[in-house]
Amino acid sequence: MIKKLILPALLLSISIGNAQGKKTKTYEVASPEGKNKIQFQLVDNAPKYSVNHGKIQVITPSDMGFMLKNNEDFSKNFDVVKVENSTFDETWQQVWGEKKKIRNHYNQMVVKLQQKNAEKRKLEIQFRAYDDGIAFRYVYPKQGTKDSIFIMDEKTTFNLKEDGKAWWIPAYKENRYEYLYKDSPVSTLDTVHTPLTVESKSGLKLSFHEANLIDYASTTLVNNTGTQLKTDLVPWADGVKVRVKDTFTSSWRTLQIGENAGDLIESYLILNLNEPNKLGNPSYVKPFKYFGIWWAMHIGKYTFWEGEKQGATTDHAKDYIDFTAKEGLHHLLIEGWNKGWTPAWYENKMHMFSFTQSADNFDLDKVVEYGKEKGVELIGYHETGSNLINYMKQIDAGFALYKKLGIHTVKIGHVGSKLNMKEWHHGQFGVNYFRYVLQKAAEYDLAVFYHEPIKDTGERRTYPNMLAREAARGQEYNAWSEGNPPNHVVILPFTRMLSGPMDYTPGVLDVEIKQGYPGKRVHGTTAQQLAMYVCFYSPIQMLADLPENYAVPAFQFLKDVPTDWTDTKVLNAEIGQYITTARKDRNSDDWYLGSMTNEKARDISVPLTFLDSKATYEAQIYADAEGTDETHNPSAVAISKKTVKASDVLKLHLGGAGGTAVRFKKL
């Protein structure tokens, strides 16, 4: 545990010498409470920055700048032209989210540089120091550059002062983001995706990521030497990293810094670095829970394609609509509703899906009409198969069809290793594609959730129709692979989920998957599946299981749990081991709690200090039954009730790979 080391806030520049004894000016910006500090200086005319948290140096002087085409080095030979400091403090409101009011409070330092050669190129580096981390980005201002600008490499490094344990997934792999996390020292990493979470030797919790990624390539991180992480921008197929005209603004390079694992989750730095809401509060964008004709396909009960076992038939759809209405939900996803599905749908091929023509045995108009009668809206589904040439030709027609039918949400999938079998999902091409679709969807009053997308960089602040995305190994792997081991679900909140809401598709209560493929199962308990709805944040949450598996008392929790919150608190957590999260419902005075553990059983005491101190609550507790763990009676949920107050301490027992979910109903 780190002691809090707070230095007084420092905003302006100071002057000191460099290591070689040659005098160079150091510019410094500290966060509002002085917790984090960034220093900038030119060393031999090359820009360098470093970062401190209290007295701990986190990043030692690290490189900045670019290599442009023709081997033009845009990382040295600079003069400082001007340094501007400012401070910013506002509290803004999320139209939906894990917390209603977010404070955006930082000190900024903008360093304006110019090269001393004939080109005289200008570069601006914007630094922001927050109390929960730091960020910086590059701006290439308009300066009459005639040629296109080709970035061949971004040279930014993060020289970690000390080694640490990193939780990582590999970059540049067939299955995009969908890998199990490994943990190993930073000094042994190859090329990895962000968010990259590191627990440093001194105990700090660090998350490296990026924010507000527009018309630029995504960043991966590569370790070439020691404890240095270097930016490795995902290239176009021809090797160029970024191609732009006149001007560019990189995404923010972000480093969240916490003293406890939960601090990373309670940090809103990524959102704060995105532009304010451009859409307002559109009535078509709403958080919700949904059922789907989906899990049945993944476990092999139905098929995505036409034929005897076809999932998306009018009859099945009507049954699911009846079930959805009976259980008080209002949204239903139906995959395989359209033409183009074949048994080879997941292979790397230029698949030709139609986004307007229904599959045989499926009458879209009739199903939509039936849903309307029952108060159930369909969720649109576009599986592109990563054939974006095909998709772009049809996107307007596909979205127009949904608009005509009164459909307001669309799930868009991108199965395939490369877009158009050519470009990485995370390259500039993909970055531009995913933002284009979001804006296009808004034109048709559609909210979006992506599968197989690029990583989240906080787009939902600017475009609240960006609901959630997958971008990690989700529940579906339990249906047809060796599955997600118990630690996966207690790593995700500290890694992938730091970037934004995830459509993990929880809620498989029949964890042994009795109707599924032999030997395939969920590697956790039913109570843990309930706890996910609180520990995993998403404005849309699937109730993924087959309807018949919800005929159990524990289902009540899933009916009750909301997906939109006023506040979020991580009560205790260790990365990859356990997490306990409490969230306050945005539409009532109730609180909810989820607690999850890895394979190890745990007893956890939770002080209920987050509750309103003047109120009394009924705690409705859904826990692993005695003796329950991943392999012993995993579906047994013990449901109990007790009256509690903020001064009480709740004792939880989690079985191995287990969990507890609690609703605190205000009395």
Residues near ligand NOJ (CB under 6 A): 294, 335, 383, 413, 415, 451, 470, 476
Tell me the closest approach of the beta carbon of residue 433 to ligand NOJ, in angstroms.
Answer: 17
Backbone angles phi, psi at 395, to 5 degrees: -60, -40
Are the beta carbons of 63 and 74 closer than 8 angstroms? Answer: no
C-alpha 642, offset from chain centre: 35
104: left (phi over 0), alpha (psi -120 to 50) or beta: beta
Pairing label, strands 205-211, 133-140: unpaired
Tell me the closest approach of the beta carbon of residue 476 to ligand NOJ, in angstroms.
Answer: 6
335 catalytic per annotation: no
Q: Which is nearer to ligand NOJ, 413 or 594 (CB)?
A: 413
Q: Which is nearer to ligand NOJ, 205 or 298 (CB)?
A: 298
Q: Which is nearer to ligand NOJ, 294 or 555 (CB)?
A: 294
Tell me the closest approach of the beta carbon of residue 97 to ligand NOJ, in angstroms.
Answer: 23
Q: Which is nearer to ligand NOJ, 317 or 593 (CB)?
A: 317
DSSP per-residue codes, 532-574:
HHHHS--SEEE--S-GGGG-STTHHHHHH--S-EEEEEEEEEE
CA atoms of 362 and 311, how far apart (whole Å): 10
Are the beta carbons of 450 and 391 closer than 8 angstroms? Answer: no
CB atoms within 10 A of CB 516: 22
In degrees to the nearest 10, what's the CA dihedral of 549, 553, 555, 558?
-170
Tell me the closest approach of the beta carbon of residue 417 to ligand NOJ, in angstroms.
Answer: 13
Q: Which is nearer to ligand NOJ, 177 or 550 (CB)?
A: 177
Are the beta carbons of 568 and 581 closer than 8 angstroms? Answer: yes
Are the beta carbons of 26 and 16 closer than 8 angstroms? Answer: yes
Tell me the closest approach of the beta carbon of residue 571 to ligand NOJ, in angstroms.
Answer: 31
Q: Which is nearer to ligand NOJ, 335 or 564 (CB)?
A: 335
Q: Which is nearer to ligand NOJ, 352 or 667 (CB)?
A: 352
Tell me the closest approach of the beta carbon of residue 505 to ligand NOJ, in angstroms.
Answer: 7
| Three-state secondary structure readout of 5-68 | CCCCCCCCCEEEECCCCCEEEEEEEECCCCCEEEEEEEECCEEEEEEEECCEEEEEEEECCEEE
Q: Which is nearer to ligand NOJ, 111 or 410 (CB)?
A: 410
According to DSSP, the residues that pair with 205 across neighbouring strands are: 199, 258
Q: Which of 195, 167, 194, 192 is nearest to 181 (CA)?
A: 167
Tell me the closest approach of the beta carbon of residue 513 to ligand NOJ, in angstroms.
Answer: 16
Tell me the closest approach of the beta carbon of residue 415 to ligand NOJ, in angstroms.
Answer: 5
Are the beta carbons of 484 and 505 closer than 8 angstroms? Answer: no
* H-state helical runs in 406-508: 428-443, 477-480
Burial label, 461 (beta-carbon count in 10 A; 0-12, 13-18, 19+): buried
Q: Which is nearer to ligand NOJ, 204 or 542 (CB)?
A: 542
Are the beta carbons of 18 and 166 closer than 8 angstroms? Answer: no
According to DSSP, the residues that pair with 107 across neighbouring strands are: 87, 129
Tell me the closest approach of the beta carbon of residue 193 to ligand NOJ, in angstroms.
Answer: 17
Burial label, 627 (beta-carbon count in 10 A; 0-12, 13-18, 19+): exposed
**Active-site residue identified among 306, 476, 512, 548:** 476
The one-character DSSP state at 504 is -
Q: Which is nearer to ligand NOJ, 201 or 339 (CB)?
A: 339
| Three-state secondary structure readout of 569-613 | EEEEEECCCEEEEEEEECCCCCEEEEEEECCCCEEEEEECCCCCC
Tell me the closest approach of the beta carbon of residue 112 to ligand NOJ, in angstroms.
Answer: 45
Residues with a catalytic annotation lie at: 476
